[in-house]
């Protein structure tokens, strides 16, 4: 495919994914005092009890213009397939001066990771209260793009460096993680300037890259011992396939098998577009781990 054709395809997929109307959750609950510390809950549309819980972490380069609302159609899509869904919001960047970033900063250090850790820790109690039909013992975490990085990180907190404030003493109680076009290898993503400097902004500046990535780079937090699957489009112009392959290769070197599904002629946003076949593939990967 020519570069122009690839760009046209990417634009069409993006327009389709963002063209769905926002879907209101059934319930919402705060896990902290900040307005962004909230989780939206979607009940399984078939009314079943004991539905597996899917935790959704949205993408958007960790930047403030992108919040959980753009994945609400995806959350509803999963709910219509019989899952209970928890869609997590977290603090994102907003041009914070202390990060020394030009333009919209990506993420907040350490607040973005404080929030994801706090949300995951609060979920069992909040789910029992807000979505009692969910079976939190069968929890799968999924995330798209930057949210894919956060999903992989959420499943790896027990292997964080000693002294990390987010480290867990034991593996989190997850059935698995399904990362959709994740920014899973920081070195590869930085070399290709994925999301226009977002990684360096996320970590608070380029000078902190090596020091801080050891706490949050999924490619360095291996093996986790938690079942992991990755879904990637071969025509992804936002997070190239090579970034995902670098993560999968890092896992293999660490002695961990990560399932990789590459969808031919699929770009970045089709993975969360309910009208795209790629979205159904993502849901099936979740189902294989959850049921």
Over residues 188-221, the pLDDT tens digits come to 999 999 999 999 999 999 999 999 999 999 999 9
Mean per-residue pLDDT, 227-235: 97
Q: Which pLDDT belongs to residue 4?
A: 79
Which residue has better confidence, 104 or 30? 30
Q: What is the pLDDT of residue 104?
A: 56
For the chain, where are the E strands, in sequence order?
Answer: 27-30, 38-42, 51-57, 84-88, 134-144, 176-180, 228-233, 259-263
What's the pLDDT tens digit per position in 272-286?
999 999 999 999 999
Confidence of residue 98 (pLDDT cuts 50, 70, 90): very low
Quick one: pLDDT at residue 97? 42
* DSSP output for 30-73: ESSSSTT-EEEEE--TT--SSEEEEEEE--STTBTT--GGGGHH
Q: How far apart are the first and last CA of the chain?
A: 38
């Amino acid at each position: 495919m020519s570069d122009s054709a690839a760009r046209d395809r990417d634009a069409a997929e993006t327009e389709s994914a963002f063209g769905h109307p926002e879907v209101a959750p059934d319930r919402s609950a705060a896990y902290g005092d900040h307005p962004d510390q909230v989780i939206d809950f979607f009940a399984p549309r078939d009314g079943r009890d004991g539905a597996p819980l899917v935790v959704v972490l949205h993408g958007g380069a960790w930047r403030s213009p992108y919040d959980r609302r753009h994945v609400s159609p995806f959350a509803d899509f999963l709910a219509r397939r019989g899952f209970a869904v928890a869609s997590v919001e977290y603090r994102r960047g907003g041009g914070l001066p202390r990060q020394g970033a030009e333009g919209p900063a990506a993420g907040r250090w350490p607040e973005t990771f404080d929030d994801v850790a706090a949300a995951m820790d609060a979920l069992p109690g909040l789910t029992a209260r807000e979505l009692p039909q969910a079976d939190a013992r069968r929890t799968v975490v999924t995330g798209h793009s930057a949210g894919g990085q956060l999903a992989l990180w959420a499943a790896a907190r027990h292997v964080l460096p000693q002294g990390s404030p987010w480290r867990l003493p034991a593996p989190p109680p997850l059935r698995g993680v399904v990362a959709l076009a994740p920014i899973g290898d920081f070195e590869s993503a930085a070399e290709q300037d994925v999301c226009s400097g977002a990684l360096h902004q996320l970590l608070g500046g380029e000078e902190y890259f090596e020091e801080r990535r050891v706490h949050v780079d999924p490619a360095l937090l291996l093996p986790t011992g938690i079942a992991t699957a990755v879904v990637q489009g071969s025509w992804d112009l936002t997070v190239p396939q090579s970034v995902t392959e670098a993560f999968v290769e890092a896992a293999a070197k660490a002695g961990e098998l990560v399932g990789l599904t590459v969808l031919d002629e699929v770009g970045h946003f089709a993975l969360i577009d309910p009208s795209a076949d790629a979205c159904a593939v993502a849901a099936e990967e979740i189902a294989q781990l959850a049921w």
